[in-house]
Structure 1
Amino acid sequence: MALTPSSMVELGFQAPDFSLPDVFSGIEKTVADVAGSKGLLVMFICNHCPYVVHIEEALVALGKEFHGTDLGIVAISANDVTDYPRDCPELMAQKLYGFPYLYDETQQVARAYKAECTPDFFLFDGELKCVYRGQFDDSRPGNGKPVTGEDLRNAMTALLKGQPVSEDQKPSVGCNIKWRKELS
């Protein structure tokens, strides 16, 4: 495991479109399918990363808290399942997040979003421009800080209220995305 920070794309970055299968339904989902009228949270996560496992319950709670609002939520896993079989779609489908969990087999979507780690969070406004990219909160496995989701939740709440999202944003950190080995 290589501890990796998020890339911190420029604010205003336009959300790339995608068409990826939802592991729960098997139905392809696009940005338009999952976005709400006030925006979209795109999370790059996976099943095995200890940084994702550390916040998993809080992700479920966040999904419940914002369910039914004008903000869409989607999670995407892009890890290479050949070398990391615990991240395969069949095991992804066992998670009970309450929001779509999509599988990016080609890894093209993760590259388009400039995702680097799991977890990696990107919050977009109603025009699908990035207003937040950064950490869930200050908690990490073993650091003793409570998992609150404060940083991301504050950004989501501000967006829904039509208030500016603070530009004071800290990078997320976690396991690097497990990129497929390129054929030589």
Structure 2
Amino acid sequence: MKKLLPFPLLCFVLLLSSFIVRPESNGYQVGDKAADFKLKNIDGKMVSLADNKAAKGYIVVFTCNTCPYAKAYESRIIALNAKYAPQGFPVVAINPNDPAVAPGDSFEAMKTKKYAFPYLLDESQQVAKAYGATRTPHLYVLKRQGNDFVVSYIGAIDDNSEDATLVKTKYVENAMTEIMAGKPASTSSTKAIGCTIKWKRA
């Protein structure tokens, strides 16, 4: 009997440790359905994915005011919206940063931005956690399938986070060409490069 006791004990320890070390959520993977959200835009209105009935999809980008990488990509995010919004894939920008950690990312500071697309505050940070966003910027392409929006690309905008003139591979644009043609993106996931999201302190 004594030889049998350590095994169930080991199983219990392993089970317990799996709950301790496993992240609460790994976020969306390519092919997952993205849940809708309702977040406050800089104009004070609440915005959700369901609001735009004509949208074929969305380019959802987690970004902010203060991160140098977000600043470097700002013009490229604007360009993505200018190119793809008329084709049914508008940009939706979301700021997930806690202003207590990054004061320059407060809602009042967000209002200084004059974008042609929504710039939303994820005050609870629950949307960023659901998506699995970790960086600013961190981009997700969603494609409509019936009433659902399916994640079709996750990661970086391109391969040069510092200088747009030195970009060799435009990950999002390449993915969009295939997605809009009804094909899966041949490169559907890349590593997001940017500042870490400023999470609320415990």
When normalised by structure 2's length, the TM-score is: 0.78
Name the residue aligned to 1:135.
156
1:113-143 Cα shifts (integer Å, max 9, x gaps) = 11111110111111211110011111123x7
Distance in 2, Cα, partners of 1:172 & 1:158: 20
Q: Which runs of 5+ in 2 are unaligned?
A: 1-25
Aligned-residue CA RMSD (Å): 2.2
- 1:71 and 2:89 correspond: yes
1:18-53 Cα shifts (integer Å, max 9, x gaps) = 110111x21101121257542111110001111111
Distance in 2, Cα, partners of 1:58 & 1:148: 14
The AA in structure 2 aligned to 1:19 is K
- 1:56 and 2:74 correspond: yes
When normalised by structure 1's length, the TM-score is: 0.85
The AA in structure 1 aligned to 2:104 is R
Where 1:129 maps in the other structure, the secondary structure is strand
Name the residue aligned to 1:180.
200
Where 1:74 maps in the other structure, the secondary structure is strand
1:77-106 Cα shifts (integer Å, max 9, x gaps) = 010101211111122122233110000111
Q: 1:26 to 1:148 in 2, by over 3 A?
A: farther
- 1:22 and 2:61 correspond: no
> How much identity, in percent, do the aligned residues show?
36
Shift of the alpha carbon at 1:169?
Answer: 3.0
CA contact 1:36–1:72 (8 Å) conserved in 2: no
Task: Name which of 100, 106, 115 aligns with 1:82.
Answer: 100
CA contact 2:27–2:130 (8 Å) conserved in 1: no
Distance in 1, Cα, partners of 2:174 & 2:106: 32
Task: Name which of 101, 116, 141 aligns with 2:134.
Answer: 116
CA contact 1:59–1:97 (8 Å) conserved in 2: no
Q: 1:155 to 1:129 in 2, by over 3 A?
A: same
The AA in structure 1 aligned to 2:39 is L
Structure 1's consecutive aligned runs of 4 or more residues displaced over 3 angstroms after TM superposition are: 34-37
Q: Which moved more, 1:113-122 or 1:90-99?
A: 90-99
Count of residues paired in the alignment: 174
Q: 1:31 to 1:51 in 2, by over 3 A?
A: same
Name the residue aligned to 1:166.
186
- Bigger RCO (CA 8 Å, 6+ sep): 1
